[in-house]
Amino acid sequence: MSLKSYVLIALLLSVALFSLQVFATFVPQQGDHFSYYEVIDVGSGTGDYSGYTDHTTVNGTENINEVAVDGTVSANYSYSWSFSDNSGYADSGSSSGNFTFSSVSFLYINGTDDQTGYVNPSVWFCMDNSTPEDGIFYLLNTAMTVKSKNYSYYLPSEDRYVYAIFAQGKSNYQRNDDYGQFSATYTWNTYFDPSSGYIIGYDYTEQDTNPSAEFTYTEKLYIDSASYTLTTAPATNINENLEQIVLFAVIAIIAIVIVLVLIILYLVLRRRRLPRHPSQQPVYTPPSEPPPPPSPSDIDLTPKQPPVQQIVIKEVVKVKCRYCGGLIDSTAETCPFCGAPRS
């Protein structure tokens, strides 16, 4: 077995062992914290927003200050932002404050970390890490579905892949703010640390439309530093690769089955078209019998050649005439010489 095969087997085993680990349900601890970097872009506009772009960067932190016996978590946040658009306008600012949330329900209790426009929202930066695959939980007001418990996520701030819980949410809402009134639809991909349940990063894509314009709004966030330790993962997602391999194998098997069925059908149909006796097969012909004899009425006695002339040679005996001595025929009555009778 080659070295490459051993490495692949070891990698698969490590992934399997990691996926079998049972992490304790999320329980925030005093001193938990993380900092993050976020980029927000608006562009790809049409109509009133044709050619318009803007760009915002955010640097922020979240800190856990205290955890009560009933699970109420006291925390504080702070962030600063910088904005610019294609017209040359620029602005910046910052915000900070305190808030509480429940580590049981994950709902904000008293205040938020500057989240506006939501009704009874859940926190966005942590989740119940015991939620199974295909399980559902909420971030802000979005229902999220766990897609993978051992996803390999690339963390730009550390230039490495780390294991993550990958969850996705899709929804829509009516935007009514400085951008105007729009119907918005979005997809939110989020990544959480499997061992602690805290955020690692997310990608958010939103499409806004109204009768006179449309534009795309995106957010990309990832942590810069954190109190929780992340586990290095392979550079590719084993689950996705395995799914692709299985899919390829299934497609290959289906293709082989289809080919075999077509071959069988061809042979069956071809066999049905064959004649019972091949056209080139010799046909037996019994020996011919002699023709029957002709009837008497059919006999033709007419000679096919002219008759042969027959020459009859008669021998005539000569005798002497007793009167004159001349030779005369024995059959003559008188001598042709003297006229005397022969006898």
Give me the number of domains the chain comprises. Answer: 1
Q: What is the per-residue pLDDT for 238? A: 57
Q: Is the pLDDT of residue 28 over 60?
A: yes
Q: Is the pLDDT of residue 128 over 90?
A: yes
Of residues 104 and 300, more confidently modeled: 104
CB–CB of 126/197 below 8 Å?
yes
The answer to the question of residue 209 being in a domain is yes
Going by C-alpha positions, the residue among 327, 336, 330 that lies closest to residue 314 is 330
Q: Is the pLDDT of residue 241 over 60?
A: no
**Distance between CA atoms of residues 6 and 16, nearest Å:** 15
Q: Is the pLDDT of residue 3 over 60?
A: no
Model confidence at 277, pLDDT cuts 50, 70, 90, reads very low
Q: What is the per-residue pLDDT for 27? A: 87
Q: What is the per-residue pLDDT for 156? A: 97
**Distance between CA atoms of residues 168 and 228, nearest Å:** 22
Residues contacting residue 155 through CB under 8 Å, at least 6 positions apart: 161, 162, 200, 201, 222, 223, 230
Q: How many CB atoms lie within 10 A of CB 152?
A: 22
Average pLDDT of the chain is 84
The answer to the question of residue 39 being in a domain is yes
Sign for the CA dihedral angle at 72, 165, 233, 36 comes to negative
Question: What integer is the mean pLDDT of 122-130?
Answer: 97
The answer to the question of residue 297 being in a domain is no
The answer to the question of residue 299 being in a domain is no
Question: What integer is the mean pLDDT of 90-117?
Answer: 97
The answer to the question of residue 173 being in a domain is yes
The answer to the question of residue 149 being in a domain is yes
CB–CB of 149/165 below 8 Å?
yes
Q: Is the pLDDT of residue 324 over 50?
A: yes
The answer to the question of residue 269 being in a domain is no
Q: Is the pLDDT of residue 314 over 70?
A: no
Of residues 332 and 224, more confidently modeled: 224
The answer to the question of residue 255 being in a domain is no
Which tens digit of pLDDT belongs to each residue from 160-215? 999 999 999 999 999 999 999 999 999 999 999 999 999 999 999 999 999 999 99
Find the CATH number of the domain harbouring 101. 2.30.230
Mark out the alpha helices in 53-189 (DSSP H runs).
Answer: none
DSSP bridge partners of 146:
167
Domain range enclosing 191: 23-234
Model confidence at 282, pLDDT cuts 50, 70, 90, reads low
Beta strand extents in 178-325 (DSSP E only): 180-192, 199-210, 213-226, 318-320
Residues contacting residue 75 through CB under 8 Å, at least 6 positions apart: 62, 63, 64, 65, 98, 99, 100, 101, 113
Q: What is the CA radius of gyration of the chain?
A: 60
DSSP, collapsed to helix, strand or coil, labels residue 240 as helix
Q: Is the pLDDT of residue 22 over 50?
A: no
Of residues 315 and 98, more confidently modeled: 98
Q: What is the per-residue pLDDT for 86? A: 97
Q: Is the pLDDT of residue 73 over 80?
A: yes
Both tokens assigned to 70: 């009933």
Residues contacting residue 103 through CB under 8 Å, at least 6 positions apart: 26, 27, 28, 67, 71, 72, 73
Mark out the alpha helices in the chain (DSSP H runs).
Answer: 3-20, 238-273
Q: What is the per-residue pLDDT for 322? A: 76
pTM of the model: 0.65
Of residues 283 and 183, more confidently modeled: 183
Q: Which residue shows structure tokens 């602690």?
A: 196
Percent residues over pLDDT 70 in the chain: 76
The DSSP letter of residue 341 is: B
DSSP bridge partners of 126:
198
